[in-house]
Amino acid sequence: MEREQAFFRLWTCKEAFLKVTGEGLSRSTRSYEVEVGPDGARLLWATGIHDAAERFSVYPLDPGNGYAAALFAEARGLTLRRFHWP
């Protein structure tokens, strides 16, 4: 189960990058690298975007109950706040 959660956490981060660039699946998922760790995630590099690691931020999200999500932003130093609606 832990391996499955790690896979979906990485996949949602990679998918979010495809969305933020607007390229979608026309960009190979092997043309960029996202590192996911216990303290979050970061974009390491992206082919064709020389300053990608400095330009983009990624935030893995835990929506709960077996779901995974991620947010990518073309900005650095953002503070992500999450609110729970009852």
Q: How many domains does the chain have?
A: 1
Q: Are 69 and 12 in contact (CB under 8 A)?
A: yes
Q: With respect to residue 84, please indicate whether it lies within any of the assigned structural domains.
A: no
Q: With respect to residue 78, please indicate whether it lies within any of the assigned structural domains.
A: no
**Percent of the chain surpassing pLDDT 90:** 74
pTM above 0.85, yes or no: yes
pLDDT per residue over 15-73, tens digit each?
Answer: 999 999 999 999 999 999 999 998 889 999 999 999 999 999 999 998 888 899 999 99
- Bridge partner residues of 36 (DSSP): 41
- Which among 66, 3, 78, 74 has a CA at the least distance from the CA of 40? 78
Mapping DSSP to helix (H, G, I), strand (E, B) and coil, where does residue 36 land? Answer: strand
- Which among 41, 77, 4 has a CA at the least distance from the CA of 32? 41
Q: With respect to residue 82, please indicate whether it lies within any of the assigned structural domains.
A: no
Q: What is the pLDDT of residue 2?
A: 86
User: What is the residue range of 65's domain?
Assistant: 2-73
Q: With respect to residue 85, please indicate whether it lies within any of the assigned structural domains.
A: no
Measured CA to CA in angstroms, residue 84 lies from 45, 63, 64, 67 at distances of 33, 10, 11, 15
